[in-house]
Structure 1
Amino acid sequence: MEWLNDMALFVEVVKAKGFRRAAEATGVPNSSVSRRISDLEKSVGLRLLHRTTRKIELTEAGQIYYERCRRIVDEARLAHEQLGEMLAQPSGVLRASLPVDFASIFLAPLIVEFARLYPGISFEFDLTPRKVDLVTEPYDVAIRMGEPEDSALIARRLASLPGQLYASPRYLAQFGTPQDPTELSQHECIGFPKSGLWTLHKDDETRQVQVGGRFVLNSVGMIRRLALLDVGIILMPREVVAEDIGRGLLQPVLSDWQGSAVPVYALTETRLLPAKTQKFIDFLRERFEARVKA
């Protein structure tokens, strides 16, 4: 059943977006990769790839075939790994896409702890603002804040982080400390685009407050930085600013009130996960739950 190996090679070619990179990833000579994919096309009786000098593209039949082959290859790999776990700890390279600011501020110490628990795993992280394509790019998992947009991906909720209000001591000394949510409309509030209405909760009471300010932006790190520079009040999960609070650079405002919880998800392309990925997701979920209970 030689064609089973060719199916796995076909999956690698599609993921690598080319014969040369697939050859480098698998260690199979480039000429052999091309020949084996041609043989596979002959065996199924349909062209699977459009080839140009610059790239390859899936035909309609190739797209259908790729989805089936990918599932078969994933199941075979998982069966192999699950048996391997009986003899050794998870190993390999864990490729993950992480939110830039949340990762550097909050996830970094958790990742270090995880790395100490599993010395056989090495790491490759993407911390750019772009959203990686888990289907076509070689990433095992993406950690995302907010509700998932792509329903085709498998989403596993790790935590829900309530937002809280913070400002620098110097800002509050200069402009005063709000005593009621309605007073926020009189302050500089730093937020994301289209977030001019903040929803706050206290026990069973909910308030919606219209807020505004001179700074509106889409970067958690920059919002945090502006608050540290005494520009205004922010609504942010405590986990993002915990270090600043500990150093006295930010302090809670209206501490009895909380913003709506921000969900954190682990996104994967498939439910069939290698041990390294499953362990990483389980570890993060356990640590998040422990922090919530603390």
Structure 2
Amino acid sequence: MDWDKIRLFYEVAEAGNFTRAGEKLGVNQSSVSRQISALEQELKVPLFHRHARGLILTEHGDVLFKAAQEMRLRLEMTRQRLTETSERPAGALKVTATVGIGGIWLAQRIKEFLDLYPEVTIELILTNSELDLAMREADLAIRLRRPTQPDLIQRRLFTIQYHAYAAVTYLERFGEPVSVEDLDHHRILSLGGGQPEFILDLHRLTILGRNPKDPRTSHLTVNDSLALRRAIESGAGIGMAPDYAMNSNPEVTQVLRDVEMPSLEAYLVYPDEMRSVARLQAFRDFLVTKAQRWAY
């Protein structure tokens, strides 16, 4: 099959209609429609269901779209490899991390990497959802649990300890809890929203030392870990947070120090096919070095 025709088909499938695909490719709508019809005749199968509101892939079209997507990714990877050398890493690198790790730990260190490798550009995607690395939704990920997806290289970075924290101003006003039972008389701040269950489990002061069927009231529930940290710092109440986000902050203090609290292992993860890409190797080695220095 002609790659130009497949590329045209791919853009139409991505756009969902002939007009938008034509605008992106600089071709008029009628020409795009004719070329797709010609491709369908050549393959002897329909690729789209045509509706007034747009185009929907047929079963055959979906098979071709997935193949075209894989071809496009491999061509892009080949192009990027040809433009860099191991001595001079260059090109774009898409990195994903959780909101907390990426927004605090990684963001504080990224300047040094950019200074070391000025020809590498970083796209940092902060999300608690696990992007599909095999489909190149990202090139490299920092994850808070061991990955189960096959064909991924993984390396443990460090252990993240979580503890209960409150602002000094809050404790001056309400006193410090000395036991888990004392939390019954304090304002509890919680992480919520559409987070993975294992992330939510880290922040459940509402059920610490209690029957889960009879939880404490959460006076504030927020779906963003950075916003939760800000609320703790402001004196809104007591909440769970990772030590790396709070240790250097003189405005907050750890409470319930004698209570065993949860921890997570952070992993560096990337596809096996990216193993020899110079810019990924450089970023991987940089992160490992920073993690070792930080952990010890």
Shared fold, TM over 0.5: yes
Q: Displacement, 1:9? A: 4.1
Matched, 1:260 2:280: no
Give the alignment partner of residue 197 of structure 1, picking from 207, 210, 215.
Answer: 207
**2:89 alignment counterpart:** 89
Task: Count how many residue pairs are aligned between Structure 1 and Structure 2.
Answer: 276
CA contact (8 A) 2:85 2:278 kept: no
Change (3 A) 1:132 1:236: closer
CA contact (8 A) 1:165 1:254 kept: yes
Give the alignment partner of residue 245 of structure 2, picking from 214, 237, 240.
Answer: 240
Matches within 5 A, 1:44-193: 44-52=43-51, 54-86=53-85, 89-92=89-92, 94=93, 99-100=98-99, 102-124=101-123, 139-140=137-138, 159=157, 160-193=159-192
**2:219 alignment counterpart:** 214
**2:292 alignment counterpart:** 290
Q: How many Å separate the matches in 2 of 1:123 and 1:20?
A: 32
Change (3 A) 1:111 1:146: same
The alignment partner of 1:231 has SS state of coil
Q: How many Å separate the matches in 1 of 2:71 and 2:235?
A: 56
Q: Mean Cα displacement is larger for which, 138-147 or 6-15?
A: 138-147
Change (3 A) 1:112 1:139: farther
**1:205 alignment counterpart:** none
CA contact (8 A) 1:91 1:276 kept: no
Q: How many Å separate the matches in 2 of 1:19 and 1:276?
A: 38
Q: How many Å separate the matches in 1 of 2:38 and 2:288?
A: 47
Change (3 A) 1:191 1:12: same
Q: How many Å separate the matches in 1 of 2:221 and 2:190?
A: 5
**1:206 alignment counterpart:** none
Change (3 A) 1:30 1:267: farther
Change (3 A) 1:95 1:86: closer
Q: Displacement, 1:249? A: 0.9
CA contact (8 A) 1:12 1:22 kept: yes
CA contact (8 A) 1:163 1:236 kept: yes
Q: How many Å separate the matches in 2 of 1:28 and 1:278?
A: 34
Q: Displacement, 1:214? A: 2.0
Change (3 A) 1:28 1:115: farther
TM-score for the superposition, normalised by structure 1:
0.68
Q: How many Å separate the matches in 2 of 1:271 and 1:131?
A: 21
TM-score for the superposition, normalised by structure 2:
0.68
* Structure 1 portions without partners, runs of 5+: 200-208
* Structure 2 portions without partners, runs of 5+: 193-199
Q: How many Å separate the matches in 2 of 1:18 and 1:133?
A: 26
